Amino acid sequence: MNTARIVTPERRNEDIGDTTLRPQLLSEFVGQAQARKNLSIFIEAARKRGEALDHVLFVGPPGLGKTTLAQIVARELGVGFRATSGPVIAKAGDLAALLTNLEERDVLFIDEIHRLSPAVEEVLYPAMEDFQLDLIIGEGPAARSVKIELSKFTLVGATTRAGLLTNPLRDRFGIPVRLNFYTEEELEKIVSRGARVLEIGMTADGANEIARRARGTPRIAGRLLRRVRDFASAADAHAIDRGIADHALSALEVDAVGLDAMDRRYLTTIATNYGGGPVGVETLAAALSEPRDAIEDIIEPFLIQCGYLQRTPRGRLLTSHAFRHLGLSEPTRDAAQFGLFGHDDEG
């Protein structure tokens, strides 16, 4: 489901290949002001002391710049950068191969770090704390413990699910950084900068139109900008204004606040089939033919941020704001009725 949506915050193939829109330095990075300020201080201090930066953990929804910031950290430190992800490190030997190839003060970036296996985590703990590997070589009576000294390195972890991190792993990060959704003004700056990089004209109202539909997420803003540029090129327009942006995004079924067809289907299902809720997520997953994880991780966060949806102990509940956006009348909710018919049993 999420790979087909232009407004998904998850990384798509087109995002992986296109690095032209990404900032290269902290001074170019827009948004996350407090995080940038703190990182700048920590990086400068580590550089002056000639030490490896303390381990960094980026926490936040997808598409907010965790990978970009990790690359910037290495670039600002003037050190090497290696990147991998939790699911790729299947066994302790995979991690050992990565760590033993790092040079002094290098940055190792692990995306989706919450998906590391327990066996790999156990090897990572002494590497983070003491910069050494404790490996068991062989099996049975012939097994022996081997310690391998590592170069002092910086681990930068990224996660969208901080609650899934184990306490021992979380506690080993000296610099936790939470990233928040971007404001409309910040996204306008990102869109305008992207237009300059792509060498397409952009009016202020055109940048605003794209920014306000980008769901607070730079990755989505960049993706929408590229698609709007296609519409502008096809129309032989030299600049993107509000009219061109509105026409393009409406054709892509992204409405004025950034909701797409999947969002509207989700809201409409709760509104019309379940009287606005509360309704359990398992019931919704069955009604929409979507996995529960996709609903919880991809669809719901932005709807909650917009104030269209509430997660309650009894299930998902639409707000008056959601009914107004859908152009539907809000029904009178009878809590006893919902309990009787069991729509609220999976929270």
Say how far apart CA 225 and CA 234 lie, in whole Å: 14
Q: Which of 5, 22, 66, 172 is catalytic?
A: 66
Which pair of structure tokens corresponds to residue 327? 């152009």
Closest CA relative to residue 63, chosen from 273, 195, 220: 220
Catalytic site residue from 68, 154, 159, 160: 160
- State the DSSP string of 106-170: -EEEEETGGG--HHHHHHHHHHHHHSEEEEEESSGGG-EEEEEE----EEEEEES-GGGS-HHHH
Q: What residues does 149 pair with on adjacent strands?
A: 132
DSSP H or E stretch at residue 175 = strand 175-178
d(CA 117, CA 165): 11
- pLDDT tens per residue across span 118-131: 989 999 999 999 99
Residue 67 appears among annotated catalytic residues = yes
Domain 261-341 matching CATH 1.10.10.10: the answer reads: yes
Look at residue 339 and tell me whether its pLDDT is greater than 70. no
Q: Which of 111, 260, 263, 344 is catalytic?
A: 111
Kindly name the residue from 5, 22, 67, 215 that is annotated as catalytic: 67
| Pairwise CA distance, residues 306 & 267, whole Å | 12
For residue range 296-310, what is the model confidence (pLDDT) as tens digits? 878 888 899 889 999
Which CATH code of 3.40.190.10, 3.40.50.300, 3.40.50.2000, 3.20.20.70 fits the domain covering 32-178?
Answer: 3.40.50.300
Mean pLDDT, range 186-204, rounded to an integer = 94
Q: What are the domain boundaries of the chain?
A: 32-178, 184-251, 261-341
CA pair distance 345, 339, nearest whole angstrom: 8
Q: What is the pLDDT of residue 342?
A: 46
pLDDT in tens, 243-278: 999 999 999 999 998 999 999 999 999 999 998 989
What dotted CATH number matches 184-251? 1.10.8.60
Q: What percent of the chain has pLDDT over 90?
A: 71
How much is the average pLDDT of 330-345?
53
pLDDT of residue 338: 47
The lowest-confidence range among 199-213, 285-299, 304-318 is 285-299
Query: Residue 183 catalytic?
Result: no
> 212 pLDDT band (50/70/90 cuts)?
very high
pLDDT score, position 9: 60
3 vs 68: CA distance, rounded Å: 21
Query: What does the pLDDT read at residue 224?
Result: 96
pLDDT mean over 311-323: 93
More confident residue, 30 or 9: 30
In 10 A of CB 206, how many CB atoms? Answer: 27
Whose tokens are 């232009």? That residue is 6
pLDDT for 297 equals 79
pLDDT value at 236 more than 50 = yes
Q: How far apart are CA 89 and CA 192, in angstroms?
A: 38
Q: What whole-number percentage of the chain has pLDDT above 70?
A: 88
What confidence category does residue 2 fall into, taking pLDDT thresholds of 50, 70 and 90?
very low
Set 5, 22, 213, 219: catalytic member: 219
160 is catalytic: yes
pLDDT per position as a tens digit, 68-81: 999 999 999 999 99
Torsion over CA: 166, 169, 174, 179 (sign) = negative
Q: What is the mean pLDDT of residues 165-190?
A: 94
Whole-prediction pTM:
0.81
